[in-house]
Chain A
């Protein structure tokens, strides 16, 4: 991507004597007080992985419970806490920060040829804020839990629940500021610190995606902050603005909540779409089809995502006229996502496609995200949503996007950039195996849920009619396979950090400034700031991608 100004690739000294960001300093203080965006990305990687498995544990308990129609494991009150905490942890402590805080923090400065983000100390602060929020939430989880659903609907959450509403709301409130600071950092960095020659339309699409995500962080997160703040006040004071006794409207809470939480789902998927553009181009050795369309579609998604929140409230008592407006806009928001899928597919066409693990995740994403997205159209349509709302159809829909889409993209990205981050290669055989296990486990878990929802099984119920048992058991079986699938990468990736073959600067032969520097990179990222004269993804032809590792 750049006419290389530096000459650092050839004849790199052996890894043991080379100084890079991982061995530049030792000791716990050098990690806990670091301002290096790459180390902060790893701090996040560790915490987010931990929260993923905590949230996953709740899911395992739920699926075990649902093997039997009357519930196999826990009391209904406890079941309510399980699905609530699964949702809270997965949404706020895994999905929202996942790619931005790990891959984003690591790659944004590198992809734009900068030495660090604009505000490195704010970056570290954002991690500590995340940790404090996580601690509040985990404390609440073990000291009574929460049973309101991750959506905290009033008046149950404000007036009736006897669970730890305030601590969890506080935990989420605090962690929201972590998102805000990350988004702020990215926006300023991307505007002000691009390398010479790196115009907006030469940027990697991952950067466009993160820029769009950051816009949502900045504009949406404060609203859920004030909403949870108001909920907490109402709970503590026993009076508040959602209280019907003084003329309050519980549905107003839903408006405020979903004003953030709908764009939040785009926070969760946009970075994954950015990863997709990187993977699809590298593993078909072709430049992206329709660069500007993909770039603008990210921005369009960020904007339109704020106009559709009422589709979560079609059956809440919301005005039918508002429902009409939100329904139309919800159909509109599908268009930019579809454009991306078309463009990735067109990129693959006549490309020189190879099927290493990152590409398997990318292919999985295309199929599963498309299914999730299409089923969203059923839900955007007012009439069908009346039937499907509150059922497992919704659960399947969002898991296809969040797990089949976002988590697959996350794993694809981790596998793609792992050699850059750690300087080590992992076993591609095991990685491909794990990807396939995850794909099979995922579909077995969630496809039956589309059927369950269509047949009428409500979500968030601890019991169900006996005729749904077969599909539920299939789903639970799938969940156990999926769980195993997620554990496998944990093993071989950690193993590779110690025993994996040493990686060169560019084992995939990919285009991008991050591949022009060492693996792992030096603390300052580049010996000299590169100068950019080429467009993005400038893969010359099908045979040019020789590994220079």
Chain B
């Protein structure tokens, strides 16, 4: 029996189990460690909410002040690419959840690794679509601020403000992509650790905690997609460039 003794007086000292794998000695028991690890990651995600949030706040300000320029800019984005990427990321969240589920239920490590690798592949697909179909095309069409942005005459008077939308587009999707790359890096490490039998039904905390991070990055994109791609009123011009 493992005693949980926080907050209530007890007469006896804590009985330490033979240490389960991955146990860190500043903790009293693996339960405490697990709870601390989860709380720690949630707290970290709050810092990420505020980090991305700063950008979203600026977006909210400029969109209110320059709605027409933002709508115009948004119409120049490729909705199919954005939608495809949304699907890809949601699928990667599914595979990530399934990887953790496999570890939780004691499946063979090859199952866990399969789902981790699928998550990474989907993440890489996301980045591939973004960097080749979107960013590269934007660069070729002179829509990248600071890299030969060309204001087009057909944009009219608000043309000078269109680069502002694209600043947001590249900063926000760029920051998001950076987080994806870091996530894929962490997943690589986790896959190797899984191959080396570091996880089990008793101890899979790093997977769980990375899952939280990965889902958070997915949620950021869930907001980026409508805010960047769908505000243009594609109804007005039938979309596309």
Contacts and interface: CB of A to CB of B under 8 A. Distances in A.
Contacts of B147: 237
Interface in A163-200: 180, 184-185, 187-189, 191-194, 196-199
Contacts of B53: 222-223
B164 interface: yes
Contacts of B219: none
Contacts of B32: 192-193
A265 B7 CA distance: 33
A192 B62 contact: no
Given A116-B26, A184-B47, A226 B7 contact: no
Contact of A237 (B8, B146, B164): B146
Contacts of A240: 145, 167
Interface in A514-549: 528-529, 531, 533
Interface in B21-72: 24-28, 32, 35-36, 39-40, 43-44, 46-48, 50-55, 57-58, 61-62, 65-66, 69
A196 B62 contact: no
Interface in B4-32: 5-10, 13-14, 24-28, 32
A120 interface: yes
B220 to A, nearest CB: 13
Nearest to A120: B26
Tell me what chain B mostly uses at the interface: helix, strand, loop, or mixed.
Answer: helix
Interface residues of B, number: 48
Contacts of B160: 245-247
A316 to B, nearest CB: 15
A256 interface: yes
A196 B58 contact: no
A226 B56 CA distance: 11
A237 B148 CA distance: 11
B67 to A, nearest CB: 11
B39 A191 contact: yes
Nearest to A238: B146
Interface centre among B25, B44, B160, B167 (most CB of A within 10 A): B167
Nearest to A524: B25
Contacts of B161: 246-247
B163 interface: yes
A248 B27 CA distance: 50
A245 B44 CA distance: 36
Interface of B: 5-10, 13-14, 24-28, 32, 35-36, 39-40, 43-44, 46-48, 50-55, 57-58, 61-62, 65-66, 69, 145-147, 149, 160-164, 167-168, 171
